[in-house]
Amino acid sequence: MLKKITNIGDCGITCDFGDEVNKSTNKEVIKLFKFIQESVNTRKLKGILNYTPSYNKLIINFELGQIKSQEIIEFIKNSDYSKINLPENKKIVEIPICYDEEFALDIQRLETKTKLNFREIVSKHIETNFFVYMIGFVPGQPFLGDLNKILYHDRLDTPRVKINKGSVGIVEKFCTIYTFESPGGWNIIGRTPFELFNINKKNTSILSPGDTIKFKSISKKEFGSFKNE
């Protein structure tokens, strides 16, 4: 449930759905996100510049001079967006992952923490249908959940300076895929050759908040010969 709406400076509002980070809260966020996106695309709502869902909040930025925050707040309050159907389970995006030791940089750390062996860790990771909570920080980077509880682990104490593009990492109940080479502190368990983000494609990002994904294990050979369309 939408708990409260607050101004962020003079050109943004935040719609706060409470403090819980779980799928049911996030689904409410994504319903409102989809509703705002649709309202902007059909020009029912003008002057909106960006709408950014996260775990438990939707932030809406607008063009001051085109619309005032109060008008957007009224628009949301007078709408029944909670009936929107999310395309969940209709489409599961399959993402290839190679768990080869060359890519699974933190497997030993995870073995120590979970007391599971490599194969068990992989099977716990691959059996999960992941929900896309949000996308961002850098272009196209998805934040996925929820991991099997047994795999929960903290961030690295010292983040790596460089993590390769396509690396798949886990922290606490979340999993992410690095869409750009960047620094990072997540436990890296594999790598995908699948390009999730390409600005030059019509469909810039394969994933959108609210999607469901499943990983598919591939060999190092398949990784090497993988072709992005």
Partner 1 sequence: MNNYFKVLRAGINSTFQDLGRFGLQHLGIVASGCMDQLTFCISNKLVGNKISEGALEFAYQGPLIELMGETALVAISGKVNFNIIKKNGETIKGKSNESFLISNGDKIDILSTINSAYGYLSIFGGFKIEEVKGSVSTLVKAKIGPNNGDKLKVGDKIFFNKSYKTGKLKKIQFDFDKDNIIRVMKGLQIHYFSKKSQEDFFSKEYKVTKLTDRMGMRLEGQKLENTVNKNIKSEGITKGSIQVPGDGQPIILLTDHPTIGGYPKIANVITADYDKLVQKTPGTIIKFKLVDLSVAENAFQDYVRKF
Of 226, 229, 2, the C-alpha closest to 96 is 226
Q: Give 31 or 57: the residue with its C-beta nearer to partner 1.
A: 57
Q: Give 196 or 218: the residue with its C-beta nearer to partner 1.
A: 196
Of 192, 197, 104, 191, the C-alpha closest to 151 is 104
Q: Report in angstroms how near the CB of residue 9 gets to partner 1 at its nearest.
A: 3
Residues that bind partner 1 (CB under 8 A): 6-12, 14, 19, 21, 33, 37, 40, 49-59, 61, 64-65, 68-69, 134-141, 143, 179-180, 197, 199-200, 204-205, 208-209
DSSP state of 138: S
Q: Report in angstroms how near the CB of residue 216 gets to partner 1 at its nearest.
A: 23
Q: Give 134 or 175: the residue with its C-beta nearer to partner 1.
A: 134
Of 161, 141, 133, 154, the C-alpha closest to 54 is 133
List the strands of the sheet with 57-62, edge to edge.
4-8, 12-16, 57-62, 48-53
Q: Give 49 or 92: the residue with its C-beta nearer to partner 1.
A: 49
Q: Report in angstroms how near the CB of residue 41 gets to partner 1 at its nearest.
A: 9
Q: Report in angstroms how near the CB of residue 14 gets to partner 1 at its nearest.
A: 6
DSSP codes joined into one string, 51-110: EEE-SSEEEEEE-TTT--HHHHHHHHHT--GGGPPP-TTT-EEEEEEB--TTT-TTHHHH
Q: Give 91 or 119: the residue with its C-beta nearer to partner 1.
A: 91
CB 215 within 8 A of CB 95: yes
Q: Report in angstroms how near the CB of residue 59 gets to partner 1 at its nearest.
A: 3
Q: Give 54 or 218: the residue with its C-beta nearer to partner 1.
A: 54
56 phi, psi to nearest 5 deg: -130, 15
CA separation for the pair 106, 169 (Å, rounded): 9
Q: Report in angstroms how near the CB of residue 104 gets to partner 1 at its nearest.
A: 25
